[in-house]
Amino acid sequence: MMSDMKTATFTVRDLNRHLGKVLETCDRFGAVRIRSRAGRTYALKLESGEAKSTAVPDFAARRRAAGMKTMGPVASEALDRAIAGE
């Protein structure tokens, strides 16, 4: 795979042997190029036209909206011990 940070280029062999990686890259970038041995290049892109969103939800805002208090150090250590099975 070759990448120029906007799209990635794979060979037909990559498409055949590593389809999951090709599709994952297409999800990330929104499109990939497939190059044949004859030198022709094909484009594979998402039908929706949008790349996969990598935004992380704001869990602190959700906690505040639910009226939950923050966990103090003592409670946090107790939870860590409970998870560890101590």
Residue keyed to tokens 């009226």: 67
Q: Please report whether residue 81 resides in a domain.
A: no
- In the predicted model, is pLDDT for residue 65 greater than 60? yes
**Residue 1: count of CB within 10 angstroms of its CB:** 12
Q: Please report whether residue 20 resides in a domain.
A: yes
Burial of 81 (0-12, 13-18, 19+ CB in 10 A): exposed
- In the predicted model, is pLDDT for residue 4 greater than 60? no
pLDDT confidence band for 6 (50 / 70 / 90): low
User: Is 25 in contact with 46 (CB distance < 8 Å)?
Assistant: no
Q: What is the CATH number of the domain that holds 9?
A: 3.40.1620
Tally the domains of the chain: 1
- In the predicted model, is pLDDT for residue 7 greater than 70? yes
Structural domain harbouring 16: 2-45
Q: Span 28-44, mean pLDDT?
A: 92
Q: Please report whether residue 41 resides in a domain.
A: yes
- In the predicted model, is pLDDT for residue 49 greater than 60? no
Structure confidence by residue, pLDDT tens digits, 14-28: 999 999 999 999 888
- DSSP code of 70? P
